[in-house]
Chains A and B, each alone.
Chain A
Amino acid sequence: EAGVAQSPRYKIIEKRQSVAFWCNPISGHATLYWYQQILGQGPKLLIQFQNNGVVDDSQLPKDRFSAERLKGVDSTLKIQPAKLEDSAVYLCASSGMGQSGDTQYFGPGTRLTVL
């Protein structure tokens, strides 16, 4: 069974530019998560989708970050404009139904460097 796919793996941009990340979850998983992991810290949830609806985006900086999951399968996370402090690894994860205690499976992540 294929795991969670993410692209690109690495991205370097200048501050104030825009960037987009793509994620394809494990087949059949209804719930998709985007996390931000800053160096030396644990992942922090940015947004959680259940099918194509948002169930938690309380920690998403909505003035510059946006995410969508239009058909309830793959998802895109966008940053516009990027700031230096956005340099981090962006992890995508998926789980079966998003119920409490569901195991989340993670993709390889996208390492973003903002110069």
Chain B
Amino acid sequence: AQKVTQAQTEISVVEKEDVTLDCVYETRDTTYYLFWYKQPPSGELVFLIRRNSFDEQNEISGRYSWNFQKSTSSFNFTITASQVVDSAVYFCALSEARGYSTLTFGKGTMLLVSP
């Protein structure tokens, strides 16, 4: 069975600090997909990134970057120069290639960025 672990329950940083959110996953499949979503206080889950298991290139989008390492089954998310607007709960999720696109979510990491 697939599983996603986000060991950090809550992280507090001061604005402009860099912060990394950890995600470790378990799956028996060789083909799978990993996602990150942001959930601000308004409650809506906002899609950030999708990565398939065959693409281990790191990705950067503005202040966001993702480090995918199959050897350690990790898909970590780094925010550079954090801002107050980054305060939210961040979820890592896994979808296996078999069947339909069922997502298994981690429990989320709450990020608090103070001015």
Binding site for B on A (CB under 8 A): 31, 40-45, 48, 50, 55-56, 89, 91, 93, 95, 98-109, 111
B11 within 8 A of A: no
CA distance A45 to B101 in the complex (A): 11
Q: Which one of B45, B100, B105, B108 contacts A99 once the chains associate, using CB atoms below 8 Å? A: B100
Cβ-based interface call for B98 (8 A): yes
Judged by a CB distance under 8 angstroms, whether B64 is at the interface is: no
Are B45 and A106 in contact (CB-based, < 8 A)?
yes
Size category, B interface? 20 to 34
Contacts of B97 in A (CB 8 A): 100-101
Q: A108-B44, A109-B44 are in contact. Are A42 and B105 (CB under 8 A)?
A: yes
Contact at A101–B50, with CB atoms within 8 Å?
yes
Is there contact, CB below 8 Å, between A101 and B107? Answer: no
28 contacts across the A-B interface (CB closer than 8 A): A31-B101, A40-B108, A41-B108, A42-B91, A42-B93, A42-B108, A43-B45, A43-B103, A45-B102, A45-B103, A55-B100, A56-B102, A99-B100, A100-B33, A100-B95, A100-B96, A100-B98, A100-B99, A100-B100, A101-B33, A101-B50, A101-B95, A101-B97, A103-B50, A104-B47, A105-B47, A106-B37, A106-B45
